[in-house]
Amino acid sequence: MSAGRHRNRTNIHVASVAAAVGVLVVTAGGYFGYRQLAAPRCSGSVELAVAVATELAPAVDSAATEWENAGAAVGGTCVEVSVTASEPVGIAATVAAKHGAILPGVGQVSGAAVGPDVWVPDSSAWLLRLKGGGASEFNPGNGASIARSPVVVGVPEPIASQLGWPEQEFTWSALVGQVNNDEPLKAGTVNPTQDAAGLSGLLALSAAAAAGEGGQAATVGALRALSTSSADRRQELLAKFPTSSDPTTMARSLGAAALSEEDLLSYNARNPAVPLAALYPTPAATPLDYPYAVLPGVGSAKAAAARMLFDVLTTASFKDRLASLSLRGPDGTWGAGFSVPEGAPSPAADGASATGDLDLLAVERAVSSWSIATQSGRMLCVIDVSGSMREPVASANGMSRQQVTLDAAGRGLHLFDDSWQIGLWEFSTNLGNGRDYRRLVEIGPLSSQRSELEAALTQIRPTRGDTGLFDTVLAAYEAVQEDWDQGQVNSIVLFTDGKNDDDNGISQQQLVAELERIKDPERPVQVVLIGIGADVSKAELESITKVTGGGSFITEDPTKIGDIFLNAIALRETGS
């Protein structure tokens, strides 16, 4: 993260300001004198901290400086704007920490989280993810777009020419075919959990794959293909493109990646040995829309200053500032000096509004699927087979709770690659040998027992027993801890539709005390509990995960457990 205040510009270059009475260069020492000349009636200061996506920050900074020097004031109080060039993922982590949200792949901030007054990330997807991640009180003001950059597929020009660029029209479905064929186009992405352009490309590619032949298999194939050439930062991904046009280098290098149009134009502006062509596949991917978000709790004076700054950033002249940075105006049109990529559609045809295209469920599925497909882990899956799991689910065409649960587990299993180690248990009460659980498949590598797990899932049936939850949780914890693997995230995922109901088992107090006794910080086991239906006790589940780590998730609609399962796996803490 790099910061630049208007009176100490170390990271953001701003042109000198011409005064109406002549040319006057505003220096650090002369700022306040000039302020008095420009606005003699303003006194004191309202300090507005603005965090802006790095590529947009110079335009915001220079416009804010010009506004200040012209006498920016709120109710007679001078306005001072501090602009910080910030990677959106860093601010998202800070806001998430402040509002109690959890975002897969974003990570945690260290120390106290101090957010800005105004945040301009590169995409509304960040605001949507924060709300979906549990920041229920996060209601930023405004949120209107101040800039735009379509998401394109960057392809080295020699390869793009072979694909028919610039005359050929491209589709995301065709790209899925290129990625998944026998001689695949080597595609990559910036980690979509941390990058909005990567997320937009993943959403478009996943939608095309799911709608085509193969459905989930095509989607998983595309995820795996992208993950082989992924990067955590844009510059790392851009460095994977060919540095020479010789056949060997071209074959070894990255052949396609979703980028913002601004990223691609900035890359080509450095005159690389192999420029990138911008492909605009249909339907258009969700563009970066740079929302102007006034964060909650800023106070009335700062809120008023923020509204005034927004007006400054939506003038016709600001569009020209954007153009110099290879960015478009919020309506998709461009200002003077914009370098239009060859093959770019007209501004009216570059897709619908960004916010209108974003769907929280689709975003959460894409992020979770990516996290699972690109991580590995060691997991014991435990499924409730008590009698109540026979109950039909009205919203699932009469399927039982058991069938809906098994369907979710089976679909999730397809996302895990062969590096995962998975085991399977079922539980109720009195399932033999005095136990409430039955071991169906011991934890082992999917590379050798995927078919065994799939077969075991199809054989699971509800019993007439009750819910031996506490005994089962303790036994599962001990089993995972016993063969704990240092190189993996070791976890338990348990599905249940009821409270503990076992008169012959241990009590809640005994379970918690025993988990406290045996847990080992050197060998952590995360427990994820997924409650189905209205009979589940949230307090009962949380008493367990408070000790073990992990989390509890409850839904009264069993049809939602598939998405909850994906989110729960994606939220596991890595590096344990």
Instruction: State the Rg of the chain over Cα.
Output: 27
Q: Do 311 and 442 belong to one domain?
A: no
Structure tokens at 28: 């650090």
In a domain, 264, yes or no: yes
Report d(CA 158, CA 503) in Å as an integer.
Answer: 72
pLDDT for residue 573: 52
In a domain, 139, yes or no: yes
In a domain, 126, yes or no: yes
pLDDT for residue 98: 86
Containing domain of residue 434, as a range? 376-570
Q: Do 105 and 11 belong to one domain?
A: yes
> Distances from the Cα of 133 to the Cαs of 11, 100, 101, 136, 296, in angstroms?
33, 8, 5, 8, 17
Q: Do 135 and 157 belong to one domain?
A: no
In a domain, 364, yes or no: no
Q: Do 427 and 505 belong to one domain?
A: yes
pLDDT for residue 571: 66
Q: At what angle do helices 561-570 and 360-374 cross, to 10 degrees?
A: 50
Q: Do 131 and 235 belong to one domain?
A: no
Q: Do 551 and 435 belong to one domain?
A: yes
Q: Which of 301, 308, 154 is nearest to 239 (CA)?
A: 154
Q: Do 439 and 542 belong to one domain?
A: yes
Percent of the chain with pLDDT over 70: 89
In a domain, 235, yes or no: yes
Q: Which residues contact 564 (CB under 8 A, 6 or more apart)?
A: 530, 553, 555
In a domain, 74, yes or no: yes
In a domain, 7, yes or no: yes
Q: Do 299 and 206 belong to one domain?
A: no
Q: Do 554 and 419 belong to one domain?
A: yes
Q: Do 76 and 225 belong to one domain?
A: no
pLDDT for residue 29: 32
pLDDT for residue 112: 62
CATH number of residue 108's parent domain: 3.40.190.10
The count of other CB atoms within 10 Å of the CB of residue 29 is 8
In a domain, 349, yes or no: no
How high is the mean pLDDT of the chain? 86
Q: Is the pLDDT of residue 19 over 50?
A: no
Q: Which residues contact 32 (CB under 8 A, 6 or more apart)?
A: none
Q: Tens digit of pLDDT for each residue in 62-81?
A: 999 999 999 999 999 999 99
If one counts the domains in the chain, the total is 3
CATH number of residue 160's parent domain: 3.40.190
pLDDT for residue 510: 96
Q: Tens digit of pLDDT for each residue in 138-180?
A: 888 888 999 999 999 999 999 999 999 999 999 999 988 888 7
Q: Is the pLDDT of residue 40 over 70?
A: no
Q: Tens digit of pLDDT for each residue in 260-292?
A: 999 999 999 999 999 999 999 999 999 999 999
CATH number of residue 403's parent domain: 3.40.50.410
Q: Out of 232, 248, 279, pick the residue that ends a domain.
A: 279
Q: Do 220 and 124 belong to one domain?
A: no
Q: Do 26 and 121 belong to one domain?
A: yes
Compute the average pLDDT of residues 116-132.
Answer: 94
